[in-house]
Amino acid sequence: MTEVLRRGRASLAFSFFAQGVAFALLVTRIPAIQDRYGISDGLLPAFLAAVPILAGVGSVATERLVKRVRPSRVLRWSQPVVLLALLGVAAGDSMWELALALSAFGLAVGALDASMNMLGVSLQRSYGRSIMLGLHAAYSLGGIAGASLAWAGAHWELELFLSYLPVVVVLLPAALVGSRWYVDSGAPASPVAEGPSSEGKVEQTAEAGPVAFRMLLPLCLVMTFAYIGDSTVSNWSAKYLQDVLGSSEQTATVPYNVYMVTTLIGRSLGDLGVRRFGAVAVVRGGALVAALGFAVVAAAPGAWVGMLGFTLLGLGLCVIVPQTFAAAGRLFPGAPDTAIARLNVFNYVGFLIGSPLVGALGDAWNYRAAMLVPMVLVLVTLLYAKSFIAGPHRYGDGHERPRTADVGRSSNGL
């Protein structure tokens, strides 16, 4: 393992961390943003939905951009835009200024998420062993740090601008300095030529149109289902504990914090599990634990059992998204960046669907039964587990290869 790879991994982990901080600072101060700009409750969902929609646009644009510009350059300049847009959200006075800042934030987040995961997958390929979960653990750590900073700002009744400014002043130059050590993939950016795969089938790439999308579709569904589960926790855990399980308002704030901490723990240890047991086993295990978590939440007789369910959700869901990005890189070894950019769009699809879905089912039916829907969707991941096969040199089979390993080819010929 060279010093170049070590520096590349550390600098990319810091980018994941910074993104976690920025996103948490935005979403946890939504009430303060609403008060600052006088946004009505009826208009607020439109503003909130605009961010993931524009992020999807940014991800699609990044797919085209990285054919001409290296992903490291996209990441180097999209991260400062995210941080400055966050500051813009806090600095404006009128609705059009908020709309402009959120638009910039959404577009840049899409480019940032896509390029970060492109670099993560290529770096994992260079390492020859699983590191994606560790990178996403840095994002979880950033989310915890950002939520804590947001709590401090709210507790001390700081203006949004004064709350955000020190964070941006620290993170922005640090991210720019760290970007000097990003490591781009050595894999070709263009699709590989068609030829026989390991099972004699014709290998397709992400540029092959509808056939290629059918190959990517299982991973797109897994990504969507995982984010439906994640958005269910982030948007409904407090309300569920308070209104359904009868907890106090203070206790109702605990599940999401517990969820974030268990997500950090699960991702910090997850790479070891992938190396030992393989990606398929880890994803299957994560889906089963997450489904058990939703079942416990739905059946919980009281608040403390409900918190146990949300704890299980953090441990289960946390492994799925990083491994889905890694699987897309393996599935399209000749065009991993294209596959990851397209897959990243379904991150935002799941985020947009999750909260309204559970809310509508809860109002029309009841919230206990509504929790069973994301449980079933997470279980569907088991049907697509073969999409996570890592190929003839899969992790955990006793002959993990060194950093020069090509972990890009799937053994099932997909």
Question: pLDDT digits over 105-135, tens only?
Answer: 999 999 999 999 999 999 999 998 999 999 9
**Structure confidence at residue 209 (pLDDT):** 39
Position 405 scores a pLDDT of 36
Least confident span in 109-118, 206-215, 230-239, 384-393: 206-215
pLDDT (average), residues 206-232: 79
- 114: amino acid identity, one letter: A
Closest CA to 136 of 269, 335, 297: 269
| pLDDT of 19 | 97
Domains defined along the chain, listed by start: 1-179 (1.20.1250.20), 204-399 (1.20.1250.20)
Pick the more confident residue, 366 or 402.
366
Q: Which two tokens stand for residue 224?
A: 């969507």
The crossing angle, in degrees rounded to 10, of helices 3-27 and 71-91 is 30
Long-range pairs for 299-303: beta carbons < 8 A, 24 or more residues apart? 299/368, 300/245, 302/245, 302/246, 303/241, 303/245, 303/246, 303/247, 303/251, 303/252
